[in-house]
């Protein structure tokens, strides 16, 4: 597989993911509304309401996150790179531990 084909496939996946997240969000909201409706009508028990609410909330929350972060792998890599850069700029000297004679409860870390 050449580089052009791989790039076309990744663009196609990238463009379809927000649409899929939107449809998942709509499905989650419909399930949320259905759960609230049957709970308000007192048609189901509390255990059944929880069983309906958990998947609805997970679907709604997960799709909301997917809409905010359309490419989580790239976001993770950028965060990792920024973390490595911040760590390289930090003082690399070892921290010293000062132990007071009162015991281990008063251990202080100093830089």
What is the pTM (predicted TM-score) of this model? Answer: 0.53
Instruction: Give 97's strand partners.
Output: 109
The count of structural domains within the chain is 1
- Secondary structure element (H or E) that encloses residue 96, with its range: strand 96-99
- Contact indicator for 13, 44 with CB cutoff of 8 Å: no
Q: Is the pLDDT of residue 59 over 60?
A: yes
How would residue 40 be classed by pLDDT, with cut points 50, 70 and 90? very high
The average confidence (pLDDT) of the chain is 78
Residue 51: which domain range? 3-110
């Amino acid at each position: 597989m050449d580089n052009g084909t791989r790039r076309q496939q990744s663009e196609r996946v990238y463009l379809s993911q927000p649409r899929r997240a939107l449809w998942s969000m709509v499905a989650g909201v419909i399930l949320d509304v259905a759960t609230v409706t049957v709970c308000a009508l007192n048609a189901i028990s509390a255990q059944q309401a929880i069983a309906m609410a958990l998947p609805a909330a997970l679907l709604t929350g997960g799709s909301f996150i997917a809409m905010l972060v359309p490419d989580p792998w790239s976001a993770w890599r950028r965060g990792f790179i920024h973390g490595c850069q911040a760590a390289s700029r930090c003082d690399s000297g070892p921290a010293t531990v000062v132990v007071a004679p009162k015991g281990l409860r008063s251990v202080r870390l100093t830089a």
